[in-house]
A = this chain, B = another copy of it.
């Protein structure tokens, strides 16, 4: 029987990110990731992740969807679709302490360099939008307003994430997200 490995999941994520950055995503095998994570095995890897592609995404997706859905469900009055999305972004970005900034910067660089990871990232954005849209529906927001508001939320998230993860950045993630959403609101007002 496999012995218990402390922090195996976290070690695997960090090892994967290191190897993807060093030698590219395509050239990296699951065995190499497990070995780099302090002599773990493929079997241990697959206990935590369904495949190589998921190692950088498995942590966030479900949790992030739950965080934004909860925040929208409990967004206070006066409620508007965008005030609820703002609350969702606040809740989500508040979970990212500045100690994760460097990790996220490396994550973005690795994703940008691999078409397979970019594709997975697009799917993650879609899942986040879906979580927000579903929660807005439950608060009585119809379509297409719900999915439009959710798309603006994902755009703001994405824009703020890139700014926050920038090595030269100093602002807190929630502040960047609020500003990004504000800019989108202003842009929408300029469309017609």
Shortest A36–chain B CB gap in Å is 31
The reply on A190 being an interface residue by CB < 8 A is: yes
Most chain B CB atoms below 10 A, which of A80, A81, A82, A148: A148
Main secondary structure of the interface of A (DSSP, over half): helix
The reply on A144 being an interface residue by CB < 8 A is: yes
B191–A145 CB distance below 8 A = yes
How long is the Cα–Cα vector from A144 to B184 in the complex, in angstroms? 7
B184–A80 CB distance below 8 A = no
Smallest Cβ-Cβ distance to A187: which chain B residue: B145
Mark A53-88 against chain B: 1 for CB-CB distance below 8 A, else 0.
Answer: 000000000000000000000000000111100000
Set of chain B residues within 8 Å of A179, measured between Cβ atoms: none
A148–B191 CB distance below 8 A = yes
B155–A82 CB distance below 8 A = no
Set of chain B residues within 8 Å of A148, measured between Cβ atoms: 184, 187-188, 191
Set of chain B residues within 8 Å of A184, measured between Cβ atoms: 144, 148
Mark A159-192 against chain B: 1 for CB-CB distance below 8 A, else 0.
Answer: 1000000000000000000000001110110111
